[in-house]
Amino acid sequence: MLSTKVSTEIAAREGVDPLQLDEPLYDVIDIGALERLVETAGGRQESELEVEFTYYGYDVVVDGSGAVTVTGGPSAAGDAAGESADQPATGR
């Protein structure tokens, strides 16, 4: 499930269990609609579908294949070393 991928990735970055996230993902985005959009795209990576939203201060992108990419984050803006906190999510 996409919601599990997103919650797991954010929780890992926050250093907590996904069940410990204070703000439920469904308060940020309609999870059912997101799932249906990806299903409609047929799970094709070449699909032009990209859904972007912010959750816990992170930028989240879900593409037509169902891949989840999480970038940025609360500490990324204040990174004095100039290193990027951008990393794709590992879950698929």
Instruction: Give the phi and the psi of residue 13 in degrees, each rounded to 5.
Output: -70, -30
Closest Cα partner for 9 from 72, 64, 63?
72
Element (H, E) at 38: helix 31-41
pLDDT at 45: 60
Distance separating alpha carbons of residues 19 and 65, to the nearest angstrom: 26
For the chain, what are the domain ranges?
2-88
Q: Per-residue confidence of the chain (92 residues) as pLDDT tens digits? A: 899 999 999 999 999 999 999 999 999 999 999 999 999 887 666 668 899 999 999 999 999 889 999 999 886 544 444 444 444 554 43
Question: pTM of this prediction?
Answer: 0.75
Residue whose token pair is 């970038």? 71
